[in-house]
Amino acid sequence: MNIKKFFLLLFSLLFVIGGVLVFNFYNKIYKPNTIKEGFLYIKTGSNFKDVENNIRPFLKRVKPFVWVSERKKYSKNIKAGKYLILKGMSNNDLVNLLRSGKQTPVKLSFNNQDTFEKLAGRIAQQIEADSISLLNAFKDERFFKEKEFDKYTALNMYIPNTYEFYWNTSAEEFRKRMYTEYTKFWNSKRLEKAKKLGLTPNQIITLASIVQKETANISERPMVARLYLNRLKDHWPLQADPTIIFALKQQHGDQISVKRVLNKDLKIDSPYNTYKNIGLPPGPIAMPDVNTIDAVLNPANHNYYYMCASITKLGTHEFAKTLRQHTKNAKKYQNWLSKNHIKR
């Protein structure tokens, strides 16, 4: 074999080897490697081994992903979050996504959580922060005093709605965002309406919580709101049964079921007893939704002072201007309760 043929053969061999290497490199980087679609959750403080273990179910081959991650220095730059993995992604696409930190936002929602414990549990189901860290943030007295709340009104800062968050939001970041949303909610128009009613935002939300517990009928809420506003204006006790139920549950826990408020219940010693105390209770008895808050800010125009649950249109109320008419309505309702054997 002459020298020319030798170099030609050697060149051909090197070309083939080079082609194989390039092909292998190309496949490692650009060949589809994900086998299904889903969300990958990377916890705060995770290392690359954690990511490797969590992403394994999405991959056809793990080693090429590790190889690309190391070459692109992702293995030393882990970013926590919730990431949408698409079927057929290459390792290059996958590493670029994770390295960029471009998360898929969480649609976080809450309503009807009437205690911080319940709110913390609800939020912990939707973001990385656990219920204990959330609860500690919610009950941080230094924070809510700084924002002009107290232990009775601090829950008012959390306006029920659906919000966008990153999954790896911390408890403190969640609380900070909720205060921002609270200040946005109480815009100049709402503040002006509250001022005209002679109430602060905290008092509006407290009254709204009573209205919401009083009626589930959305169209009736402005009527109920005005009735209570009439009583407040004339310094009458609100005499709202939902506040008595709330006081009873404070004493006996959520396990008590109260469908009928008894005369003995009206004597309960509690700042939430609106039969014994004039004015609003010190804080909300529930978490009112935006519709109810706006119902208080935009009440109906009437002169009713009394209401009683209706027995002809269940879920609504019979309104009255005089005690005489109210007594008739109340007697009908009490008879209906007894007829249906509703004692507590």
Q: By the 8 A CB rule, do 291 and 161 touch?
A: no
Question: How wide is the angle at C-alpha 110 spanned by C-alphas 187 and 124, nearest 5°?
Answer: 125
Chunked mean pLDDT (size 10), the chain, 344 residues: 54 48 61 96 96 97 95 93 97 96 96 93 98 97 93 96 97 97 98 98 98 94 97 96 92 73 88 96 96 98 91 84 87 79 62
Largest CA distance in the chain: 124
Name the 3-class secondary structure at 83: strand
Query: What pLDDT score was predicted for residue 251?
Result: 83
Give the residue from 34, 80, 79 showing the smallest Cα distance to 57. 34
Name the 3-class secondary structure at 201: helix
Query: What pLDDT score was predicted for residue 23?
Result: 43
| Rounded-to-integer distance, Cα 218 and Cα 233, Å | 24
Query: What pLDDT score was predicted for residue 250?
Result: 85
Tally of CB atoms within 10 A around 6: 10
Q: By the 8 A CB rule, do 190 and 202 touch?
A: no
Q: Could you state, in order of their start, the residue ranges of all structural domains in the chain?
A: 27-100, 106-185, 188-339
Query: What pLDDT score was predicted for residue 326?
Result: 85
CATH code at 27-100: 3.30.1490.480
| Rounded-to-integer distance, Cα 64 and Cα 84, Å | 20
Query: What pLDDT score was predicted for residue 341?
Result: 65
Name the 3-class secondary structure at 187: coil
Query: What pLDDT score was predicted for residue 333?
Result: 82
Q: What is the pTM of this model?
A: 0.86
Strand partners, 82: 41
Query: What pLDDT score was predicted for residue 2?
Result: 63
